[in-house]
Structure 1
Amino acid sequence: MTKKVKIVLADDEVLFRGVMKNMLENTGDYQVLYDVGNGLELTKKLENAKDDDFPDLILMDLKMPELNGIEATKIIAKKHPDLKIVALTTHKGKSFIINMLNLGAAGYITKSCSPEEMLDTLKEVVRKGFYYSEEVMQVINENFQKGNKKNRLSMLDANFITKREKEVLLLLCKQFKTQEIAEQLFLSERTVEGHRNNLLGKTNSKNVVGLIVYGLQHGIIELSDLVNPLGHED
């Protein structure tokens, strides 16, 4: 990362925010624009932010007063769909994970993880726009296996996805970024983006999580395809 990533911290624990700010800025990769104690304060800050002061990424706690992290994410995702939000929380419950991913969260980290794990996750989110750990992938798979209709896509004929789109889908689900997919499939990045947009439209998915569910649903991918996403070569 040559240019510093502009980041905002949203957490109701002042001491935790201070520790996080020091850790992130000491890496030399991040500039913490500001930190807030609740979702309401966060949404107001974003409303008044100028272009130069607008963050690239938000680290979002889920349990906060006045406006919690899930509701804040819902509001921000509608107004700023390109803004990356990563949950950083004590909550390991599957419902919290699924709710945040359904809202388009770029990642989900628990506060019990190591500093190295957290920094690796943020690095991947910055590098390719999203990162879901093996633990999160397993939650997605379990949720799919339970047949929860609220979080499942309707069954469609998988044959309407072309062979090339299936190849792109598999690499997307393995969390490869656009440039890597283009290199693997000998395509331009613009063509890969076109296939990605086609997949989102055809499967009625809002984000990569929707594509993962679709891939599992139709046997295009297996859970084993999704684990250890940091293991592929750059």
Structure 2
Amino acid sequence: MNKTIKILLADDEELFRKGIYFLLQREENIEIVFEASNGSDVIEYLQQKENLPDIILMDLKMPEINGVEATKTIHKDFPEIKIIALTSYNTKSFIANMINVGASSYLVKNASPKEMIDTINEVAEKGFFYNEVVMKVIQDDIISDRKANKSKFDEEFITSREREVLDLICQQLSTNEIAEKLFISSRTVEGHRTSLMLKTESKNIAGLVVYAVQNKVIKLDVL
């Protein structure tokens, strides 16, 4: 039985938010724990630390505290919570900005219901979900904040096994899929992943992927 994914919905457009609510509540593995119409309500709810969500669907344009600023705060104070950015805009600058501040995925509001549910499940299982458009933005070095704070990559910085695990993470394989492919246990994969995050100072898997792509740790053909 799949683990229940706890979702927080944050969008100031009530009709849109309710539409997502009624769509997601039909999914057996999804539970809506809170709805918010602005970033302030999101942060206030999280600070209560009761029934924290696994994933926040975060609209970018909201009153009081917008989705970008809320994402920055949440990424810093609650790095274990994954954020899927919701926006009407699909420009490179918007994508780059949200990945910079810690979003685990990026979903355009005209996406299909299936795309949204698939994205939620991917993020819940793997920690992030970047489609080809997002990976191209990262590869093109448009995202710069994290890269500027990292020293030049040292070839001996990570072990050969860690590099193999990192390659497969960037291919968006799950922990179990990586374990099967490398003939190691899931716990061993998690150990390598933890080590990689510590070495690269990444707060989550999404940040680790950004680091790997921008420092050319992985081969471009895996993208």
> Is TM > 0.5 for Structure 1 vs Structure 2?
yes
Structure 1: segments with no counterpart, 5+ residues: 227-234
Report the equivalent of 2:12.
12
Superposed, 1:111-122 pairs within 5 Å as 111-122=109-120
The 10-residue stretch of structure 1 (40-49 or 5-14) with the greater mean CA deviation from structure 2: 40-49
Superposed, 1:63-212 pairs within 5 Å as 63-142=61-140, 144=141, 150-152=145-147, 153-212=150-209
Report the equivalent of 1:35.
35
Are the structure 2 counterparts of residues 79 and 207 from structure 1 closer, same or farther at C-alpha, using a change threshold of 3 Å? closer
Could you tell me how far apart the structure 2 residues matched to 1:59 and 1:217 are?
26
Could you tell me how far apart the structure 1 residues matched to 2:34 and 2:145 are?
36
Could you tell me how far apart the structure 2 residues matched to 1:172 and 1:18 are?
34
Q: Residue by residue, what CA displacement relative to the aligned partner does 1:95-137 show, whole Å, maximum 9, x if unpaired?
A: 3322322333221111122211111111111222221111111
* Aligned AA (2:145): K
* Aligned AA (2:44): K
Whether the aligned pair in 2 keeps the contact of 1:128 and 1:178 (CA below 8 Å) is yes
Whether the aligned pair in 1 keeps the contact of 2:103 and 2:206 (CA below 8 Å) is no
Are the structure 2 counterparts of residues 217 and 98 from structure 1 closer, same or farther at C-alpha, using a change threshold of 3 Å? closer
Whether the aligned pair in 2 keeps the contact of 1:85 and 1:106 (CA below 8 Å) is yes
Task: Report the alpha carbon displacement of residue 160 of structure 1 after superposing the two structures with TM.
Answer: 2.9
Give aligned pairs, total: 221
Percentage of matched positions with identical amino acids: 50
Whether the aligned pair in 2 keeps the contact of 1:137 and 1:223 (CA below 8 Å) is no
* Secondary structure of the structure 2 residue equivalent to 1:158: coil
* Secondary structure of the structure 1 residue equivalent to 2:156: helix
* Secondary structure of the structure 1 residue equivalent to 2:34: strand
Are the structure 2 counterparts of residues 54 and 81 from structure 1 closer, same or farther at C-alpha, using a change threshold of 3 Å? same
The 10-residue stretch of structure 1 (166-175 or 106-115) with the greater mean CA deviation from structure 2: 106-115
Are the structure 2 counterparts of residues 28 and 195 from structure 1 closer, same or farther at C-alpha, using a change threshold of 3 Å? closer
Whether the aligned pair in 1 keeps the contact of 2:79 and 2:204 (CA below 8 Å) is no
Are the structure 2 counterparts of residues 196 and 178 from structure 1 closer, same or farther at C-alpha, using a change threshold of 3 Å? same
Whether the aligned pair in 2 keeps the contact of 1:138 and 1:223 (CA below 8 Å) is no
Structure 2: segments with no counterpart, 5+ residues: none
Task: Report the alpha carbon displacement of residue 64 of structure 1 after superposing the two structures with TM.
Answer: 0.5
Q: Residue by residue, what CA displacement relative to the aligned partner does 1:4-32 show, whole Å, maximum 9, x if unpaired?
A: 32211100101001111011112333222
| Cα RMSD (Å) | 2.1
Are the structure 2 counterparts of residues 216 and 42 from structure 1 closer, same or farther at C-alpha, using a change threshold of 3 Å? closer
Report the equivalent of 2:56.
58
* Secondary structure of the structure 1 residue equivalent to 2:173: coil
Whether the aligned pair in 2 keeps the contact of 1:94 and 1:139 (CA below 8 Å) is yes
Whether the aligned pair in 2 keeps the contact of 1:8 and 1:35 (CA below 8 Å) is yes
State the TM-score, normalizing by the size of structure 2: 0.88
